[in-house]
Amino acid sequence: MSALLRTSAKAPVRAFAFTRTQFQRRTISSTRAPQKALPFSLNATGTSSSSVNGQNKILRMLMFGKPGAGKGTLSARLVKKYEILSLSTGDLLRQHIAERTEVGRMAEEIVATGGFLPDDIMLKVVTSKLDMLHNRHWILDGFPRTLGQGKLLDDHLRSRNTPLSLVVNVDVADEIILSRISDRWVHLPSGRVYNLSYNPPKVHGLDDATGEPLTKRPDDNPEIFARRLEKFYASTSPLLAYYKTQPSRSTRVSTLTGSTSDEIWPQLDGLVRSSFPNLKERAEPRGQRLRHSLQEAVLGRPDHDPITKC
């Protein structure tokens, strides 16, 4: 996360009292992390009694996952398929600063002096948008990141009678992510990500859409990954445990496991469809519908032609 999003919150680390040497040994060589350090066996905590079969439920979603687990890719797939708003904390903060709002001016002063943004300011940045989306489906990206932030957000949403309805943890083994980031290349202008193992570019080293060169992210190396993973365990594990233990009938908490985004996507899609059956899929763009209609008219044959067998 960029410097804009750093906060002063300090997540409790008492439950993760292992040395850096032990952490790195577990991260790189072990195929399974100790259960004590990974409270990720999260299951559904129930659904709201006011929304039988999910017919009236609004998707208010958080997605967590280790660095490189693919949560960004999975969120993008949901937004592409369904009428869901994706809210980036970084984008919201930059908008406040650009528009010179009260919160934006406060944040700009803190950032300019190299300070950390307090949780209450980050909460105002996020909720100033969420409070306008009473009947809209959304996924929030970048907040909360710590237990303190999670409690603040939870209290605010419940006070507005708009509680979280789904918390998803994307659980991918450490060694799989480490192998994945070693093969990862990105097109920085667009953010498109390629992997030489399972999602290679059509032309080696070049972006499929623009033909521009691909590059490596500066943090795609084992040493930096280990530090990011250590921070995830210290900050996000207690937050996930908090959501799991909350006596909530409105928030469902679920863990999805797999090795790749393609493997996890059907689980996520099925979870969202079954929990929120009123969630609408995005309409096909008019231009694309028109092209399909013209093709059918010109070809004058059904989709599965008995002659050409295609």
Is 6 annotated as belonging to a binding site?
Answer: no
Report the distance separating Cα 85 and Cα 80, nearest Å.
Answer: 10
Is 217 annotated as belonging to a binding site?
Answer: yes
**DSSP classification of residue 37:** G
Report the distance separating Cα 179 and Cα 185, nearest Å.
Answer: 13
Report the distance separating Cα 220 and Cα 305, nearest Å.
Answer: 48
Is 190 annotated as belonging to a binding site?
Answer: no
Q: Please state whether beta strands 138-141 and 60-65 pair in parallel, antiparallel, or not at all (unpaired).
A: parallel
Is 145 annotated as belonging to a binding site?
Answer: yes
Amino acid at 264: I
Is 94 annotated as belonging to a binding site?
Answer: yes
Here the tokens at position 103 are 């919160």
Is 136 annotated as belonging to a binding site?
Answer: no
Is 291 annotated as belonging to a binding site?
Answer: no
Is 66 annotated as belonging to a binding site?
Answer: no
For residue 275, the Cα-to-chain-centroid distance in whole angstroms is 18
Is 19 annotated as belonging to a binding site?
Answer: no
Report the distance separating Cα 259 and Cα 69, nearest Å.
Answer: 9
Paired strand residues for 63: 168
Is 115 annotated as belonging to a binding site?
Answer: no
Is 71 annotated as belonging to a binding site?
Answer: yes
Is 289 annotated as belonging to a binding site?
Answer: no
Here the tokens at position 191 are 């953010």
CA-to-CA separations, 204 to 180, 218, 219, in angstroms, rounded: 17, 20, 21
Is 143 annotated as belonging to a binding site?
Answer: yes
Is 148 annotated as belonging to a binding site?
Answer: no
Is 69 annotated as belonging to a binding site?
Answer: yes
**DSSP classification of residue 53:** G
Annotated binding site: 68-73, 89, 94, 142-145, 149, 184, 193-194, 217, 228, 261
Binding residues for AMP: 89, 94, 142-145, 149, 217, 228
Binding site for GTP: residue ranges?
68-73, 184, 193-194, 261
